[in-house]
C-alpha cells in the first residue's frame, strides 16, 4: 500500500478510470461525486467513498479534482462542504480540470492560507489515455510540491511536464487545445473534399494517415468520422468551453486567434442541431463542413 492517501473528487469519463488506476497501483483512494452510479463503480474496484468533498479531504493527504469547468472547481474547493472545510495542513490539492488560470491561482491562494499546497495539472489524451494511464499531464506549481505530487501523477500519465508556477499548467492546456482543434478542422475539410471529389474514403484515409498530415486526430478520430461514430471521448461542449477559455486568455494577453475564433463558430453550427448535439464527441465538428458542402464524409 502506498503511504499517501488520495482523495478524488469528480468521477466523470476521465476521472473514474484515473481513480481506478490509482487503486490498482496500490493507493488508498477515497472518492466523492454527485453521481452515485459512478461512486458505486469506484467502490466496485476498491475505492472508498464520502458524502462530501470536505469529508474526502479530511481523509486524504493529496486531493485530486477532475470536474468540467471553473465554477465547478470553485464549488468543490471553496463552496459549502468543499475541500477547504476538511483540508488538513500540509496536504496537496491537484486540480486536473481544464479551467481559467486565474481561477486556479485564486484556489491556490485559499489553499495556501490553510497551510496546504496547490498545483494545476490538466491533462490531454482523452478517455483512452485516462484508461491506459498514459495521459500527458501539464503541471503548474512550486517545484517542491510538484516533486511530491509526481509519484501520483506518474501513475496517471506517461508524460508529466512541469511548466512553471501555478497557472502554467492551465495555460499550457489551453494552448494545446488550439493545436488539436485546428488539426481536426483541417482534417474535416479534407475528408469532405475527398468525398465530394469522388475518392474512396477508406483508400484516402489509408493513403494519408502516415504522411505529412499524420496526427493524433487523424489516427484516432478519422476512423470514427468515416464510420459516422460521434460517441464522445471528449464532448463538443467541453471543446466549446476550452475555446472560450482560449478567447479569454487571448483577450488578456493581446493575442490574435483568427482560426480558433472561426472554429468556435463552426461548433455553434453543430450545437444548432439540438440540445443533445453538444454531448457528441468533438469530432462532430465535421458536421458543420458537411452541412455547408451538402455531403457526408463517410465510407
Distance between CA 153 and CA 94 in Å, rounded? 9
**For residue 35, pLDDT beyond 90:** yes
> Could you tell me the residue ranges of all domains in the chain?
5-165, 171-293
Q: CA angle, 145 as apex, 141 and 151 as ends, to 5°? A: 110
Task: Check residue 1 and give its pLDDT.
Answer: 54
**For residue 2, pLDDT beyond 80:** no
Distance between CA 143 and CA 119 in Å, rounded? 10
Mean pLDDT of the region 40-66: 98
For the chain, how long is the longest CA-to-CA vector? 65
Task: Check residue 124 and give its pLDDT.
Answer: 96
What tens digit of pLDDT does each residue of 266-298 get?
Answer: 999 999 999 999 999 999 999 999 999 999 999
3-state secondary structure of 177: helix
Asked if CATH classification 1.10.10.60 holds for the domain at 5-165, the reply, yes or no, is: no
Asked if CATH classification 1.10.1040.10 holds for the domain at 171-293, the reply, yes or no, is: yes
- The catalytic residue among 5, 105, 106, 173 is 173
- Whether 106 sits among the annotated catalytic residues: the reply is no
- pLDDT confidence tier of residue 243, bands split at 50, 70 and 90: very high
What tens digit of pLDDT does each residue of 203-223 get?
Answer: 999 999 999 999 999 999 999
pTM of the model: 0.95
Give Cα separations from 92 to 50, 64, 106, 116, 145 (angstroms). 18, 8, 15, 6, 8
What tens digit of pLDDT does each residue of 8-33 get?
Answer: 999 999 999 999 999 999 999 999 99
* Beta pairing partners, 17: none
Task: Check residue 227 and give its pLDDT.
Answer: 98
Residue 63 is classified by DSSP as E
A 10 A CB-CB count for 268 gives 11
| Beta-carbon-side half-sphere exposure of residue 96 (alpha carbons within 13 Å) | 31
Mean pLDDT of the region 95-101: 98
- pLDDT confidence tier of residue 166, bands split at 50, 70 and 90: very high
Amino acid at each position: 500500500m502506498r503511504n499517501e492517501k488520495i482523495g478524488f473528487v469528480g468521477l466523470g469519463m476521465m476521472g473514474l478510470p484515473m481513480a481506478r488506476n490509482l487503486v490498482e497501483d496500490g493507493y488508498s483512494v477515497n472518492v466523492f461525486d454527485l453521481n452515485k452510479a459512478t461512486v458505486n463503480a469506484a467502490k466496485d474496484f476498491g475505492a472508498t467513498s464520502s458524502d462530501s468533498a470536505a469529508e474526502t479531504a479530511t481523509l486524504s493527504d493529496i486531493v485530486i479534482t477532475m470536474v468540467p469547468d471553473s465554477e465547478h472547481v470553485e464549488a468543490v474547493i471553496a463552496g459549502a462542504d468543499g475541500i477547504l472545510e476538511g483540508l488538513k495542513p500540509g496536504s496537496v490539492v491537484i486540480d486536473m480540470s481544464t479551467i481559467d488560470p486565474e481561477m486556479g491561482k485564486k484556489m491556490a491562494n485559499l489553499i495556501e492560507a490553510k497551510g496546504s499546497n496547490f498545483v494545476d495539472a490538466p491533462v490531454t489524451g482523452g478517455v483512452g489515455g485516462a484508461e491506459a494511464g498514459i495521459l500527458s499531464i501539464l503541471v503548474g506549481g512550486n517545484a517542491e510540491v510538484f516533486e511530491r505530487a509526481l509519484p501520483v501523477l506518474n501513475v496517471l500519465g506517461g508524460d508529466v511536464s512541469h511548466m512553471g508556477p501555478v497557472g502554467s499548467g492551465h495555460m499550457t492546456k489551453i494552448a494545446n487545445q488550439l493545436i488539436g482543434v485546428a488539426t481536426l478542422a483541417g482534417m474535416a475539410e479534407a475528408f469532405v473534399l475527398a468525398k465530394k471529389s469522388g475518392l474512396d474514403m477508406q483508400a484516402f484515409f489509408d493513403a494519408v494517415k502516415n504522411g505529412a498530415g499524420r496526427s493524433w486526430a487523424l489516427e484516432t478520430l478519422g476512423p470514427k468520422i468515416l464510420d459516422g461514430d460521434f460517441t464522445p471521448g471528449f464532448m463538443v461542449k467541453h471543446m466549446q468551453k476550452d475555446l472560450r477559455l482560449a478567447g479569454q486568455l487571448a483577450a488578456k494577453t493581446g493575442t490574435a486567434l483568427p482560426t480558433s475564433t472561426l472554429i468556435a463558430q463552426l461548433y455553434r453550427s453543430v450545437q444548432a442541431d439540438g440540445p443533445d448535439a453538444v454531448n457528441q464527441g468533438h469530432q462532430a465538428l465535421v458536421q458543420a463542413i458537411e452541412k455547408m458542402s451538402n455531403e457526408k464524409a463517410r465510407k
